[in-house]
Amino acid sequence: MAIYLDHAATTPLRPEALEAMLPYLTERFGNPSSPHRFGRAARAGLDEARERLAARLNAEPRELVFTSGGTEANNLAVKGAAWVGKARGNQILTSPVEHHSVGHSLAYLEKFGFEVVALGVDRYGRVDPDEVEARLGDRTILVSIMLANNEVGTIEPIAEIARRVRTRRGVLFHVDAVAAAPHLPLDVQALDVDLLTLSAHKFEGPKGAGLLYIRRGVHILAQQQGGTQERYRRAGTEDVAAVVGMAVAYDLACEERATVSGRLRRAADRLLRTLRAEPGVEVTGHPKERLPGLVSVVVPGVDGAELVMALDLAGIAVSTGSACTTGSTEPSHVLTAMGYPADEARGALRISLGRATTEAELETAAAEIRAVIARFRAAAESEPALAQDGVLGR
């Protein structure tokens, strides 16, 4: 029996979402842009989902653009805002701990003459709002900072940052809320953002579904040309079933958040205390301002990818950090930006709990994780080079 503790990578589709999706994969298959009854049935599902999601986010339905996920929404936000802003300026402020769908989109924009300023972060991965204000200039057109980090769980001081961004007229503020969405209430008015990204598969919705909130009056350049869907902001026939599943999953996540988050936080805190007591283990991310249910550590001198494999053999599914960088031998850009040297950053381990995680699973997992870490550390101490190659320690 395997224990799944990688909910920050993805979550299982919840049964209520699947059930709501099924009719749109079968009899309600129409194209939502078709005027006939088949199209209208699909359109009704899409419209209802849009209204439910907008209500939850304190947005207007027309302010939501459905996308194929967080990656597409982040690309659309950052590139779409940059190209429209080019007439006014070329500078974009961001953090060095963003997901690659933001970071690599910005690197792409640099090739076209945009200047990307990476702000500093502290040991916990937090951006300093004062630095945001100090760096805002006449040429700044966009600030993009995530709400919570997907690798270490640190929550950024977004309200404070928004306040500083608002001191300059015409600067757009984008927030990647993908990692935060399952755990933190999101209100686009209270957050005071112009653009906000969500991805359904992180809150027990389907994969391949996400959205970008675009504040009314904010103009961004579509990144995909074709039909008139999504008010010309994202061409292509909408995945109605996926959007319906996303709306149901998000509704339920919001309703259950208070109870689930409290339970996850207590469970994660227990696991954190256990791991912190393990010699050679350092907890990463902010001690308080962090997502509930996400435990991240480094074990210096040990290869995190090897730890993940050894734990998989023991039936425990965890990760080194982001699933999106699997296969890369580079240490996490998040941990290196936080000041961890490469050899420490390579020893990263992320354990992320979900709604269905049980006490018994966590107890088993904690014992296995401790045992595997102790074995790897012992191997690293006796044969450092071999342990690094993963020859020992399993």
Q: Quick one: how far is CA 33 from the chain centroid?
A: 31
If 0-12 CB within 10 Å is exposed, 13-18 middle and 19+ buried, where does residue 184 land?
middle
156: contact with ligand PMP by CB under 6 A: no
Exposure of 93 in the CB half-sphere (CA atoms within 13 A): 27
Q: 179, 242, 318, 351: which one contacts ligand PMP (CB under 6 A)? A: 179
Q: Which residue lies nearer to ligand PMP by CB, 9 or 136?
A: 9
357: contact with ligand PMP by CB under 6 A: no
User: Is 122:152 a contact under the CB 8 Å cutoff?
Assistant: no
Q: Which residue lies nearer to ligand PMP by CB, 351 or 366?
A: 351
Q: 30, 45, 69, 85: which one contacts ligand PMP (CB under 6 A)? A: 69
User: Is 226:235 a contact under the CB 8 Å cutoff?
Assistant: yes
How far, in Å, CA of 308 to CA of 390, rounded? 11
Q: How far is CA 369 from CA 5, 40, 226, in A?
A: 11, 52, 50
How far, in Å, CA of 285 to CA of 289, rounded? 8
239: contact with ligand PMP by CB under 6 A: no
199: contact with ligand PMP by CB under 6 A: yes
Q: Which residue lies nearer to ligand PMP by CB, 196 or 268?
A: 196
Which letter does DSSP use for residue 95 in this model?
Answer: -
Segment 89 to 148, residues that bind ligand PMP, using CB under 6 A: 99, 101, 146
210: contact with ligand PMP by CB under 6 A: yes
- Please enumerate in sequence order all residues whose Cβ is within 8 A of that of 27, keeping only pairs 6 or more positions apart, or say none: none
Place of tokens 């690599």: 104
324 is catalytic: yes
305: contact with ligand PMP by CB under 6 A: no
324: contact with ligand PMP by CB under 6 A: yes
Q: Which residue lies nearer to ligand PMP by CB, 23 or 208?
A: 208
Say whether 229 sits in a helix, a strand or coil: coil
Catalytic: which of 309, 324, 364, 394? 324
CB of 333 to ligand PMP, least distance (A): 13
Calculate Rg over the CA atoms of the chain.
22
Give the catalytic positions in this structure.
324
The site for ligand PMP (CB under 6 A) is made up of: 69-71, 74, 99, 101, 146, 150, 176, 178-179, 199, 201, 210, 322, 324
